Structure 1
Amino acid sequence: MRPRTSLTVLAATAALLTSAATATAATEPVSRPRVAAHFDLAAEQQPENITVGPDGSAYLTFSFARQIARVTPSGRTHVLATLPAPAKASTPNLGKAFVGGIARAGDGTLYVTYATGTADLTGVWVVRPGGRPHRIAAFPADGLPNGLALDQRTGSLYVTDSVHGVIYRVPAHGGRATFWAGGEALRPSTFAGANGLKLHNGAVWATNLDRGTVLRIPVTARGTAGRIQVHATGMPSIDDFAFTGHGDTLLAARDDNEVDLVRPDGTHITVLTAADGLQTPTSIAVHGNTVYVPGAAYLTNTDPNLLTAHLDR
């Protein structure tokens, strides 16, 4: 997600310069990072979120270009859809229209979140193979729908709202968005709260960007939200994340140009930095032994890209 003030930009830029001067290489269990694709900054092709298809193709949202794109395993980029522009965007915190999270169903259907500050466009949108994008659920225009996860078993989508600091649930076939979880742990403190989102091992997991935390929310037998548990702390500007396997180890993207490995006990180490090619990483995907890291260049203003690396199991 885009940083909020010039002071933040200056501080983060200084951190990037320090990181680039001191870091040398990826850290186990991540190795062999490389830039798999470069995007057009002038066209605002800044990748915000990612999901991966069975063939290893990466499906990305280009946040401010309002686009959904596919990057093939060979590195070729194909724009699949462009969401309609609002008459006048007034997206909270950002000003611009913003395409955020993305999820892919087994049949190739893509779901994305879209925030414009207008009632006619803000919400969850769907693009079916060969079809045109259309909205399936409306969200409050004064919010910022962001992270997105699909539960194919129940046919439900979960969505974070980074401004209101809540999680909504939406039928995947379309319908009314309903409140699912809220509380202090999800709320923003200065800019954005609940952000990245995943379903894993009977729980909804989320990050809070402002608080630098990873949260676990058990899903009860009735499908309601259990008590919010703080799983990890101390990761400023944390964005989205992905689990490395069946356990609770995860990789988290941080807007301050780091990717952290978070262990099941909540401790964490940095495994990728600017020295490895990161450009404001926004999200993570893991497919087999490959880690995908989109970089939106929100802070660096240089070379938005898709970085891949090997994950040692």
Structure 2
Amino acid sequence: MLTEFPIPTPDSAPLDVTAGPDGAMWFTEFLGNKIGRITGAGDIAEVLIPTPDSRPEGIATGPDGNLWFTERAVDRIGRITPGGRITEYQLDEGSLPLDIALGSSGDLWFTERAANCVGRITLRGKLTHFAVPTPAGEPLGIAVAAGTTIWFVEGASDKIGRLHVPRHDRRRAAGEAFHNQRG
């Protein structure tokens, strides 16, 4: 049986959803500028992001028991506790963060479409950026495979990218991009 639950904020444009550490589902409200939480019973609570018009997009659960999300329009990564407290981390201006995923080492990985980078943020807020080898590749979606391999799509170049992060040196990474050789 499929059940739908109306979001309290009209025209909020929900974009992404993830299972939270508290058993609820958490979601982004792109136009509502909120992070939402829905229980299995359908009860919805919303938390307003302190930065106006931030356009939250991707969301992932971190190993710290918090939810991490991208703020597309203001170039930030946000963290919200299950209690609703939000902390924001500033990226470079114009980076356009979109998707976010939990890495096997406990860091969170995200795409920066306009900066043409894949980013990593530690639980303490330390940021590292890895340039995509294809100029203007526009990294969009991201996923983490077992071990230390990060996969992402390059929307403007029709490629899948793979980033290897050596376990012994977390400051360095090697990347490559794959595309269909058939015309």
The TM-score normalised by the length of structure 1 is: 0.48
Asked if the contact 1:160–1:167 (Cα under 8 Å) also holds between the matched residues in 2, the reply is yes
Pick from 57, 72, 76: which aligns with 1:162? 72
Are 1:253 and 2:153 an aligned pair?
Answer: yes
Match of 1:138 in 2: 48
Match of 1:82 in 2: 6
Pick from 216, 224, 240: which aligns with 2:120? 216
Q: In the TM superposition, what is the alpha-carbon distance from 1:196 to its structure 2 partner?
A: 1.1
Tell me the distance in 1 between the aligned counterparts of 2:20 and 2:86: 19
Pick from 164, 176, 180: which aligns with 1:267? 176
Q: In the TM superposition, what is the alpha-carbon distance from 1:108 to its structure 2 partner?
A: 4.9
Structure with higher helix content: 1
Are 1:147 and 2:58 an aligned pair?
Answer: yes
Q: Which has the higher contact order (CA 8 A, sep 6+)?
A: 1
1:154 to 1:244, Cα distance in 2 relative to 1, 3 A: closer
Q: In the TM superposition, what is the alpha-carbon distance from 1:150 to its structure 2 partner?
A: 0.9
Are 1:104 and 2:104 an aligned pair?
Answer: no
Match of 2:167 in 1: none
- Count of residues in Structure 1 that have an aligned counterpart in Structure 2: 170
What are the residue-to-residue correspondences of 1:1-313 with 2, within 5 Å?
78-86=2-10, 97-105=12-20, 108-116=23-31, 121-135=32-46, 137-139=47-49, 140-151=51-62, 153-172=63-82, 174-179=83-88, 181-184=89-92, 187-188=93-94, 193-200=96-103, 201-219=105-123, 224-226=124-126, 228-233=127-132, 234=134, 236-245=137-146, 247-256=147-156, 258=158, 260-264=160-164, 265-270=174-179
Asked if the contact 1:232–1:262 (Cα under 8 Å) also holds between the matched residues in 2, the reply is no
Tell me the distance in 2 between the aligned counterparts of 1:128 and 1:157: 15
Q: In the TM superposition, what is the alpha-carbon distance from 1:197 to its structure 2 partner?
A: 1.0
2:121 aligns to what SS in structure 1? strand
Tell me the distance in 1 between the aligned counterparts of 2:79 and 2:21: 20
1:81 aligns to what SS in structure 2? coil
Tell me the distance in 2 between the aligned counterparts of 1:100 and 1:257: 23
Asked if the contact 1:251–1:259 (Cα under 8 Å) also holds between the matched residues in 2, the reply is no
Asked if the contact 1:162–1:188 (Cα under 8 Å) also holds between the matched residues in 2, the reply is no
1:47-106 C-alpha deviation (Å, 9 max, x unpaired): xxxxxxxxxxxxxxxxxxxxxxxxxxxxxx9354332453xx6xxxxxxx4212221136
Asked if the contact 2:60–2:69 (Cα under 8 Å) also holds between the matched residues in 1, the reply is yes
1:236 to 1:84, Cα distance in 2 relative to 1, 3 A: farther
1:202 to 1:257, Cα distance in 2 relative to 1, 3 A: same
Asked if the contact 2:33–2:53 (Cα under 8 Å) also holds between the matched residues in 1, the reply is no
1:34-58 C-alpha deviation (Å, 9 max, x unpaired): xxxxxxxxxxxxxxxxxxxxxxxxx
1:252 to 1:138, Cα distance in 2 relative to 1, 3 A: same
1:126 aligns to what SS in structure 2? strand
2:5 aligns to what SS in structure 1? strand
Q: In the TM superposition, what is the alpha-carbon distance from 1:156 to its structure 2 partner?
A: 0.8
Letter in 1 for 2:45: H
1:133-160 C-alpha deviation (Å, 9 max, x unpaired): 221x211332111111112x43211111
1:259 to 1:112, Cα distance in 2 relative to 1, 3 A: farther
The TM-score normalised by the length of structure 2 is: 0.77
1:159 to 1:107, Cα distance in 2 relative to 1, 3 A: closer
Flag the structure with larger Rg. Answer: 1
Q: In the TM superposition, what is the alpha-carbon distance from 1:237 to its structure 2 partner?
A: 2.7
